[in-house]
Amino acid sequence: MEPALQALLAATGSFLFMTIIFAVIYALCKDPKKHTRRHPPPRARTAPAAELSSIESATFDPALTRIEIGELARVTRDFSPDLIIGDGSFGLVYRAKLASGVTVAVKKLAPDAFQGLREFHAEMETLGKIQHPNIVKMLGFCIAGSDRILIYEYVAKGSLDQWLYDMSSMGYDVAGTAKCPKLLDWETRIKIVQGVARGLAYMHTLYTPIIHRDIKASNILLDAEFGAHIADFGLARLMDRSHSHVSTQVAGTMGYMPPEYIYGCMMATTPGDVYSFGVLMLEIATGRRPNFPFAGGDGYEIRLVEWVTNMVSQKRYMEMIDPNLSRENLPENDVINYFAIATMCVSEDPKVRPTMSDVVGMLE
């Protein structure tokens, strides 16, 4: 056989051989079972059984009958903006009068306020058990699909923030003349501070302590006698027995947040609440918002805590008092002691801050 013919036959054979090999490989790859094993299809997400429950409600106050979502929609006129009385953490708050005649505050949570029903139930069960005269009482909750609604006791006089800064709430007429000039006088402000301190001390000394994490003037509600009630536990988290809770969520309000939270500490602690309470004390006495910088003595902008620290170092106590407050019958020693307690609470070192139980003792 001629060499040219031999070469042609050899090439043809090689081509056929390689074609057969590739055909076998292709057939193996097309095998449905082998394909499934190599690339398993994604699993369909199955919602937890609890999340499939469309409607659920519970009450924590035996004086109230079961509150249904239909009644809440009716008494809030389908959550009409006209009935909004507050904008707290994670949701709007509405004033509503139930069929039983009881006026309540209804808070409709934002859809992403809680990650799951298990977490929501745990939080509600804990908060529903809290019974203290200086903490807003949770009356119950409703769940309907993705809607989660909280029912609280209604506190008559609104927030401390309004009474410190909103002249209309303080009883001023159009001309700016005070109708009730004695409201939020020094004694009333001390009463409010003491009430907040007692409420926080109670939460911090529970068997499983609770940290509020967002103490501020708008989260303090006032009753008809100007008693203080701590509200809005949207950022509250249970602590374990080591008095700490690791969280990746930045919580709180600028101006009130302790420095350790701002600088990256993800550990929620009772001293963090103490710091926020100290800032609130300074705000109540001075009438200055802690999150708004203002002109310092040297012409540069300064924030409340820094300003008070500087003024205390110069012993200029009476100059810090809210200019709307009458100085008549205001003992300077009381003012000095007040700022001494507040500055201890806002110490940069969490270990130096007193406990809230200690603060209650010092205030009373």
Q: Is residue 43 part of a domain?
A: no
Is 30 part of any domain? no
Same domain, residue pair 172 and 230: yes
- The mean of the pLDDT values for the chain is 78
Residue 171 binned pLDDT confidence (cut-offs 50, 70, 90):
very low
Identify the domain boundary among 135, 153, 171: 153
Do residue 339 and residue 220 come from a single domain?
yes
Least-confidence region, from 20-29, 158-167, 306-315: 20-29
In a domain, 12, yes or no: no
Is the domain of 301 the same as that of 341?
A: yes
For 77-115, write each residue's pLDDT tens digit. 998 889 988 876 677 889 999 888 889 999 888 776 665
Q: Pick the range with the lowest mean pLDDT from 18-27, 137-146, 204-213, 280-289.
A: 18-27
Could you say which of 153, 179, 211 is where a domain stops? Answer: 153
| 232 has catalytic annotation | no
State the pLDDT at residue 7.
55
Do both 348 and 330 map to the same domain? yes
What's the pLDDT tens digit per position in 243-297? 444 343 446 788 898 988 777 666 778 999 999 999 999 999 999 999 888 887 6
Write the pLDDT tens digit of every residue in 12-36. Answer: 666 565 666 656 556 555 544 444 4
Same domain membership, residue 165 and residue 112 = no
Residue 22 maps to a domain: no
Say yes or no: 273 and 314 in one domain: yes
Q: Same domain, yes or no, for 261 and 343?
A: yes
Q: Please tell me whether residues 234 and 272 are part of one structural domain.
A: yes
Q: What value does the mean pLDDT take over residues 127-149?
A: 87
The pLDDT, as a whole number, for residue 235 is 58
In a domain, 82, yes or no: yes
- pTM score of the predicted model: 0.76
pLDDT band at 141 (very low <50, low <70, confident <90, very high): confident
Indicate if 82 and 104 belong to the same structural domain: yes
134 and 206 both lie in a single domain: no
* Pair 227, 326 in one domain: yes
Find the catalytic residue in 147, 185, 214, 349: 214
Number of domains observed in the structure of the chain:
2
Residue numbers of the domain that contains 71:
49-153
- Together in a domain, 144 and 183: no
Q: Which residue has the higher pLDDT, 354 or 113?
A: 354
300 domain-assigned = yes
CATH classification of the domain holding 357: 1.10.510.10
- Which of 129, 153, 177 delimits the end of a domain? 153
The winner for highest mean pLDDT among 29-38, 71-80, 171-180 is 71-80
CATH number at residue 116: 3.30.200.20
Q: How confident is the model at residue 69 (pLDDT cuts 50, 70, 90)?
A: confident
Q: Indicate whether 43 pLDDT > 70.
A: no
Q: How far apart are CA 35 and CA 189, in angstroms?
A: 74
